[in-house]
Amino acid sequence: MSDHVPISPPGCGRRPASFPVTGTGRWSIQQSFLLRCCLLVSRCLLVCLALRVPVLLAAEDVVLTGSEQQEAASPAQLEFFEKQVRPVLVEHCYECHGERSDGGLHVNSRESLLRGGDSGPALVPGDPDSSLFVEAIRYENLDFQMPPQGRLPQAQIKVLEKWVEMGAPDPRDDTTRTGLPVGMSIEEGREFWSFRPVANSPVPDLGTHAFVKNPIDAFILHRLIEQGLQPAPPAQPRTLVRRLYMNLIGVPPTAEQVDAYLSDASPRSTQRLVDQLLHSPAYGERWGRHWLDVARYADSNGLDENLAFGNAWRYRDYVINAFNADRPFNRFLIEQLAGDLLPDATAETKIATGFLVLGAKVLAEPDREKLTMDTIDEQIDATGKAFMGMSLGCVRCHDHKFDPIKQRDYYALAAIFKSTKTFGDTNTGAIKHWHEYSLESVDDMDEFKLIDAEIARLKKEASDWKNSAITKLRAAANDKATEYLMACTKLSVTDSLVRISEVAGQYDLHPRILHHCRRHLEFNQQHEVFKPWHQLQQGVSDPDQNADAVEKFYRPLFAAASGGQVVSEPSAQDAKIKSIVLPDAKQVAAALKDHSGFLTIPPKPEFAFDDETLAEYNRRMEAARIYESNARDVPAAMGVSDNTVLTRLPIHIRGSHLNLGEGVAREFPTVMRSSEVRPVFPRHQSGRLEFANWMASTRHPLTARVYVNRVWRWHFGEGLVRTTENFGVLGDRPSHPELLDWLTRWFMESGWSTKNLNRLILASSTYRMSALHPQKSIASKIDPGNRSLWRFRIQRMEPEQIRDSILSISGRLDAVMAGKTVPLRNRQFVFNHTSVDHTRYDSLRRAVYLPVIRNNLYTMFEQFDFPDPTMPTGNRSETVVAPQALLLMNSDLVIDSADVLAQSLLNLSVSDASRVEMAYQRVLGRPPTGREARRAVDFVSQVVSGAKVNAAAVDEKGARRGWLLFCQSLFASNEFMYQR
Amino acid sequence: MLKASLQSRRSVLCNSAVGFGNLAFLHLLQKNCRAQDGAPTTSGAVEPSGPLAPKPTHLEARAKRVIFLFMKGGPSHVDTFDPKPLLDRDHGKPLPFDLPRVTFAKQGNLLRSPWQFKRYGQSGLPVSELFPNVARHVDDLCMLRSVHGTNPAHGGALLKLHTGSDQFVRPSLGSWLTYGLGTENENLPAFVTICPTLAHGGVNNWGAAFLPAHCQGTPIGNASLNARSVGVKHIRNQRIDPRNQRRQLDLIRSMNQEHLDTVGANDALEGRLNSFELAYRMQASMPELQDLTRETSATQRMYGIDDPVTEDFGRQCLMARRFLENGVRFVQVTHSDSEVQWDQHGNLYAGHTKNAGEVDKPIAGLLQDLKSRGLLEDTLVIWGGEFGRTPTAQGNNGRDHNPHGFTMWMAGGGVKGGYAYGATDDYGYYAAENKMHVHDLHATILHLMGLDHQRLTYRYAGRDFRLTDVAGQVADDILA
């Protein structure tokens, strides 16, 4: 480019070696109040003071000192400021540091500059080299550059440097407010409902009331009466039995099970049924799945590099077993956070620590320290949300803007997690591996070494085969180098591959190589070897003549370069050829050898190889993939262990690991501590066990409350606190605070037993209410959201319930429990760069065993509000979107199941009316009304007669089609999909 | 004509309470209520037109729809749209300033571009010989030569570019636009992504994360499939003939209606009743929109569909145009073949030659087509990859990932044509002038679509989230 204006590279001068590049050269912008509580990691790397620790000076001191130091500025100095300095500040700085104070910094007065921002004072009057302000505008430090959009002109930088050097004379008044709004103080926080100790709520005394079966009902009824509401009547037994089955084991009762319950006249029949369901192994499959939502369980990493978590299933099975065994929740918590550190640690308790490893990580993050801190953040966030209903992740960059959680609290916890080992020592290329516990002795490792070697061999075999095929292609192309150049004379550079293929056919050439060759000639018109090709054709329009000339010129050259016999020099008879400068023989040889030259082999095998070669290559690749997918894994479990113990960790200013502040010791969040006495952490352990024990204590204000609220949510479809993961200031307030505390206390007294809590809730009239209310219109006016629970909430089935119920009803459900189900070897790519989708969800086992592939969930899960498996979720959504209907109308799962059900109805020699009755019983748990039965029979016969041709065989097919469509309709109906 | 039809369609939709997306919008309101802790708003206030209905913008919108031409793998800016003469001069010498603290791979010395640049159009903007067809439209292009991101690995960079975060799962750009603007056609998804890559973030790159489900992008196939044969999942039923399916839907409708009568008014149940009808219509409309035989052969040729080299990407682009003109808000097309993509750590010459050859003509065809239909003025076209490549060599014919400065370009939709914004340094390593971080790019795209990136927020888990997190600056200079 002739008029190219050189641009100075940023940071080409002095740069301390320790400075990072990950930043964007901008102080964070904080516009809205709410957004101030955002985690800003990538952009937090901007303000780096790694070499200037500590920086936390008392702001008032700085202000005072600075104010006092300013001597009266001379008129000349002030003129300099007004003419030279102020315009630059206004133009380049005020947008973010004027009214706003991005990064905590205002620049609209001398005082505010002296006070500085999050990284400390911006100005040292008289000393430009020590002033952060000057460092930033000099643009020499890649991570500390202002203004962010680009370097100021050199003259303006000089002006500002000079201004600082003269002591920063500045007539402006300090009108800026100091300090940002902060969240609650610790003292205020202790008065906030969720941080107060669990109260001993008295049960409301309502005298004898038919509704009050246990204290839950007393609390609920008390509130209803206050609001002038009546509870709904008890649900019909037929409705209740279905509700209990769906709620506790996730599949509906069979017609026989319904009958058995209905015919049991004992007053204890419901309690018996509850006990029976709680003892069913399917209870753990259903309730364990609830916890897996909270634990953001998945069988692959997702996020940036989707590697299979080939051993995550052990954690899944651990959770299912824990629920079936009714593991006390406090023990369950301790195992998941510190099972490796328990005095009685076992393989099982180590597997439990998988909770801390299951998060999605940026496994290919090249900045190892960032990865470590990001991972700790994910662990703290998941732990906070899952067990304490707190979003602690907010506190990485600054004190919580709403909740009484301070940045010190965060780094005190982070010190514990930094002393914990989450990553292993191996990697796949740039992709780091997470930590796992080997569950087998080293003797057995030989077998796995052999497996690894075999996988490597198969992969190499495939790539060797590909390389040898390419070598053959290359040799063939080189043999025909002259023909390629000849063929090119018949092509324009814009010709389509269709045309190119015709010409390639004439010369027996590879069309894609020819395509590239023609473009190469275009791109290399001045190249010594290819210039003649263009010259030869100048002024000649006959392609055959041109091809001839090209042949005469190049064939001898190529022959000579390939070491072949030189037939003759380029023909001397042709005047034109004579006039062209012969390229250097070495250059010709180099062009022929150049793998990226005019005879480049297409880089994509589909384009390079013929069908047969391609098929063979794909076969070999596929063989390697299949072998790897099915190869046995080293028996191992995802889990954490202790790392080098850090007893203190510096606060990371703005969350940046490159901007370290004061160190803080390991500690629990202050507001949740029930004692003023500081905990003592062991010197040689991370402190996770102490942390877990503290959380599992009956004195912790949140742990039991949060869990009890979850259990309530899993029974009623809505929590007493609807924001199950947020018990903070921005979260919901409990609808029945006294009930929540009473239940929490009861739960702890009963030994933190989930099943006891289930029993208590299930025995209440509150749970057994109907979803229909005789005075619905009045009640909806008083309490439209049903917060006071005047009726049972209608709930859409979760995708696991939908799928398992459809399979169960049609008799297809495979009840096998436990074991590895993700069809990939540990750490195998779910998706590599090819995007070929090998995931399959055609297993007929319970949905809890279907692989949870992050970034590629099973469509039914995805459509029916399965939670994002990267975020702890206690409260699933219930959306209605059209693709759900498509899935029910068109997916194989539903059609196949309807078909099996239809066939089983047809196999019975009964009337169509009886078939309809059986279908209703099996799918909806009730007999059809007469109208429904007639409509169904009519529907089937319509479909059948529509399909009728003549032959009996067709009729049979038509009948099956008709019943299939009818059964599918039942599966798609609202009555089936919505529990009441 | 298009505008008129959109208008009438909109007015029809305003009277119906259903859409492709979330039919139970009451649920959405409840969700918001939940988020606003103790003070839920009255859930009785149901908007008559649902969450996907077109919404008023914060600002005057310069563009109504977006097509993002995503070049997976990271095309080299110094070989395409950002010429660096000093690379020729200093070929083989070391970079005269420091490398970043973290690089993806080991870096060699400076490597000159194997391609020549020429100036085109009235603006005289330079384009390399890799893009001769796009170059003819250079006066419509707004080159963004100072884009920079934060992550030097594919996964992180894709996530950053598509969602603004390379650390957490966050809603994607298209989802935010859907959330903020609704759709012009409720019978279609508001956000479609054609043949997206399943690697490096996969679904997250078009996911809604915590935004309502209707904001999720609808994938049509994936990058490993031929654009000729891709479709929306479950959109076809080979096993049941349409007449019987119609009968079946009538049966389901009457069953659901009776159930509703028993249970009483319920938005979710009513929404679900309608969702089957909508799904039935979609079964017809989606394949119809994807049917490119409805286009003239001249149009097909314009997109290069007659040439096996350009056919696949040409189909994606043409399909995209059909979606756009039928009211889809955001369409992404992805160029990402199964082997090489734009990730030329080695074999730069052959790889980029092939890749550019596959997309150049279709992109030019798309620009031409949009222009001749009058769509370009309010359609924002965006081109780019997840990062650029280093001016330094990897091996002797390759370049490493470079998120520190690279080129994307925009066209149409309210941006200056024939304009180059920002610059990298002399060698093309770092963004240097008018630096445009990915957050700034997002802020600018939202601005062009009439949304203020600081006001487009969604409260989740006690925080108001933004696409631009706490950053983002609109590049005012590029606004036409």
Orientation of helix A407-418 relative to helix A368-383, angle to 10° = 110
pLDDT value of residue A376: 94
What is the tens place of the pLDDT at every residue in A659-715?
888 899 999 998 888 888 888 999 999 999 999 999 999 999 999 999 999 999 999
- pTM, whole model, 2 decimals? 0.80
Q: Where are the beta strands (DSSP E) in A392-470?
A: 420-421, 423-428, 431-434, 436-438
What is the tens place of the pLDDT at every residue in A190-236?
889 999 999 999 999 988 899 999 999 999 999 999 999 999 999 99
DSSP category for residue A10:
T
Residue A21 pLDDT > 90, yes or no? no
Q: Give the residue with greater pLDDT, A569 vs B200.
A: B200
Question: Distance (Å, rounded) from C-alpha A13 to C-alpha A142?
Answer: 10
Q: What is the helix (H) or strand (E) element at residue B140, kind and residue range?
A: none
Tokens linked to A665: 């010791």
Residue B18 pLDDT > 60, yes or no? no
Residues linked to residue B393 through DSSP beta bridges, in sequence order: B399
What is the tens place of the pLDDT at every residue in A491-515?
999 999 999 999 999 999 999 999 9
With contacts defined as CB-CB under 8 Å, which chain B residues touch A150?
146, 422, 432-435
Nearest to A32 among B310, B340, B464 (CB): B464
Tokens linked to B363: 């992109």
Question: Distance (Å, rounded) from C-alpha A365 to C-alpha A427?
Answer: 12
Q: Is the peptide bond before A147 cis (omega within 30 degrees of 0)?
A: yes
Length of chain B: 480
CB A351 within 8 A of CB A337: no
Nearest to A7 among B31, B43, B423 (CB): B423
CB A517 within 8 A of CB A598: yes
With contacts defined as CB-CB under 8 Å, which chain B residues touch A975?
255-256, 259
Chain-wide mean pLDDT for chain B? 86
Residue A36 pLDDT > 70, yes or no? no
Residue with tokens 């709410």: A34
Residue A26 pLDDT > 70, yes or no? no
Confidence band of A637 (pLDDT split at 50, 70, 90): very high
Question: Distance (Å, rounded) from C-alpha B411 to C-alpha B407?
Answer: 13
| Maximum alpha-carbon separation in chain B | 82
Nearest to A730 among B114, B247, B462 (CB): B462
Chain B contact for A822 (CB, 8 A cutoff) = no
Helices (H), A170-303: 186-191, 215-226, 237-248, 255-262, 269-279, 281-294
Q: Is the peptide bond before B403 cis (omega within 30 degrees of 0)?
A: no
CA distance A869 to chain B (A): 10
Chain B contact for A154 (CB, 8 A cutoff) = no
pLDDT value of residue A573: 58
Q: Are B435 and A150 in contact (CB < 8 Å)?
A: yes
Residue B29 pLDDT > 80, yes or no? no
Chain B contact for A463 (CB, 8 A cutoff) = no
Burial B115-148 (b: 16+ CB within 10 A, else e): bebeebbebebbbbbbbbbbbebbebbbbbbbbb
Q: Is residue A507 part of a domain?
A: yes
Q: Are A835 and B349 in contact (CB < 8 Å)?
A: no
What is the tens place of the pLDDT at every residue in A305-349?
889 999 999 999 999 999 999 999 999 999 999 999 999 999 999
HSE, side-chain direction, 13 A CA sphere, residue A455: 18
What are the Cα distances from residue B93, in Å, to A11, B89, B287, B403, B427? 19, 9, 55, 22, 12
| A2 class by beta-carbon count within 10 Å (0-12 exposed, 13-18 middle, 19+ buried) | exposed
Tokens linked to A222: 């008390």
Residue A66 pLDDT > 50, yes or no? no
Q: What is the mean pLDDT of residues A732-747?
A: 96
Question: Measured on CA atoms in the order B169, B170, B173, B174, is the torsion positive or negative?
Answer: positive
Residue type, B232: V
Chain A 863-922, residues with CB within 8 Å of chain B CB atoms:
865, 868, 870-871, 875, 877-887, 889-891, 895
Residue among A219, A122, A314, A20 at smallest CA distance from A742: A219
DSSP category for residue A27:
P
Question: Distance (Å, rounded) from C-alpha A343 to C-alpha A350?
Answer: 12
Q: Give the residue with greater pLDDT, A401 vs A279.
A: A279
Confidence band of A304 (pLDDT split at 50, 70, 90): confident
pLDDT value of residue A948: 54
pLDDT value of residue B396: 86
Question: Measured on CA atoms in the order A287, A288, A291, A293, is the torsion positive or negative?
Answer: negative
Residue with tokens 């290359």: A474
pLDDT value of residue A574: 67
Mapping DSSP onto H, E and C, the string for A85-111 reads HHHHHHHHCHHHHCCCCHHHCCCCCHH
pLDDT value of residue B64: 94
Chain B contact for A182 (CB, 8 A cutoff) = no
Q: What is the mean pLDDT of residues A247-255?
A: 96
pLDDT value of residue B10: 34
CA distance B246 to chain A (A): 11
Question: Distance (Å, rounded) from C-alpha A109 to C-alpha A90?
Answer: 12
The class (CATH top level) of B64-233+290-478 is alpha beta
Q: Is residue A253 part of a domain?
A: no
Residue A814 pLDDT > 50, yes or no? yes
Residue B33 pLDDT > 50, yes or no? no
Confidence band of A832 (pLDDT split at 50, 70, 90): confident
Burial A321-350 (b: 16+ CB within 10 A, else e): bbbbebbbbbbbbbbbbbbbbbeebeeebb
Residue B423 has a CB neighbour count (10 Å cut-off) of: 21
With contacts defined as CB-CB under 8 Å, which chain A residues touch B259?
973-975
Residue B3 has a CB neighbour count (10 Å cut-off) of: 11
Tokens linked to A392: 């602690």
pLDDT value of residue A566: 54
Confidence band of A273 (pLDDT split at 50, 70, 90): very high
Q: What is the DSSP string of A921-949?
A: HHHHSSPPPHHHHHHHHHHHHHHHHHH--
Domain end (from A539, A569, A602): A602
Confidence band of B37 (pLDDT split at 50, 70, 90): very low
HSE, side-chain direction, 13 A CA sphere, residue A695: 30
* Percent of chain B whose pLDDT exceeds 70: 89
Chain A 19-58, residues with CB within 8 Å of chain B CB atoms:
19-26, 28-32, 34-43
Chain B contact for A566 (CB, 8 A cutoff) = no
- The chain B residue lying nearest A403, using CA atoms, is B462
Question: Distance (Å, rounded) from C-alpha A596 to C-alpha A590?
Answer: 11
Question: Distance (Å, rounded) from C-alpha A802 to C-alpha A861?
Answer: 10
What is the tens place of the pLDDT at every residue in B327-345?
999 999 999 876 668 999 8
Range of the domain at A552: 480-602
Q: Give the residue with greater pLDDT, A889 vs B461.
A: A889
Confidence band of A944 (pLDDT split at 50, 70, 90): confident
Q: What is the mean pLDDT of residues B200-218?
A: 86
Burial A569-590 (b: 16+ CB within 10 A, else e): ebeeeeeebeebeebeeeebbe
Confidence band of B17 (pLDDT split at 50, 70, 90): very low
Confidence band of A564 (pLDDT split at 50, 70, 90): low
pLDDT value of residue A679: 87
CB A758 within 8 A of CB A711: yes
Q: Is residue A427 part of a domain?
A: no
Q: Is residue A274 part of a domain?
A: no
Residue B440 makes CB contacts below 8 A (sequence gap 6+) with B471, B472, B473, B474, B475
Residue A71 pLDDT > 80, yes or no? no
Q: What is the mean pLDDT of residues A433-460?
A: 86
Q: Is A788 helix (H, G, I), strand (E, B) or coil?
A: coil
Question: Distance (Å, rounded) from C-alpha A727 to C-alpha A390?
Answer: 6
With contacts defined as CB-CB under 8 Å, which chain B residues touch A142?
98, 100-101, 430
With contacts defined as CB-CB under 8 Å, which chain B residues touch A977?
272
pLDDT value of residue A922: 94
Q: What is the mean pLDDT of residues A110-114?
A: 83
Residue A486 pLDDT > 70, yes or no? yes
Question: Distance (Å, rounded) from C-alpha A837 to C-alpha A831?
Answer: 7
Q: What is the helix (H) or strand (E) element at residue A344, kind and residue range?
A: none
Q: What radius of gyration do chain A's Cα atoms show?
A: 37
- The chain B residue lying nearest A936, using CA atoms, is B251
A637: left (phi > 0), else alpha (psi -120 to 50), else beta? beta
Q: Give the residue with greater pLDDT, A387 vs B44.
A: A387
Question: Distance (Å, rounded) from C-alpha B334 to C-alpha A29?
Answer: 32
Question: Distance (Å, rounded) from C-alpha A395 to C-alpha A671?
Answer: 14
Residue A955 makes CB contacts below 8 A (sequence gap 6+) with A944, A947, A948
Q: Give the residue with greater pLDDT, A751 vs A823.
A: A751
Q: Is B366 helix (H, G, I), strand (E, B) or coil?
A: helix
Residue A61 has a CB neighbour count (10 Å cut-off) of: 10
With contacts defined as CB-CB under 8 Å, which chain A residues touch B156?
304, 362, 364-365
Nearest to A304 among B155, B336, B465 (CB): B155
Reported ipTM exceeds the 0.90 cut: no
Residue B27 pLDDT > 70, yes or no? no
Chain-wide mean pLDDT for chain A? 85
Q: Are A305 and B463 in contact (CB < 8 Å)?
A: no
HSE, side-chain direction, 13 A CA sphere, residue A683: 0
Residue A153 pLDDT > 90, yes or no? no
CA distance A836 to chain B (A): 5
Q: Where are the beta strands (DSSP E) in A391-473?
A: 420-421, 423-428, 431-434, 436-438
What is the tens place of the pLDDT at every residue in B223-279?
888 898 888 888 888 888 888 899 999 999 999 999 998 888 787 888 888 888 888
HSE, side-chain direction, 13 A CA sphere, residue B336: 33
pLDDT value of residue A219: 97
Task: Give whichever of A286-295, B39-48, B89-98, B161-170 has the largest mean pLDDT.
Answer: A286-295
Confidence band of A61 (pLDDT split at 50, 70, 90): very low
Question: Distance (Å, rounded) from C-alpha A751 to C-alpha A744?
Answer: 11
Residue A502 has a CB neighbour count (10 Å cut-off) of: 13
CB A381 within 8 A of CB A373: no
Residue A170 pLDDT > 90, yes or no? no
pLDDT value of residue B51: 64
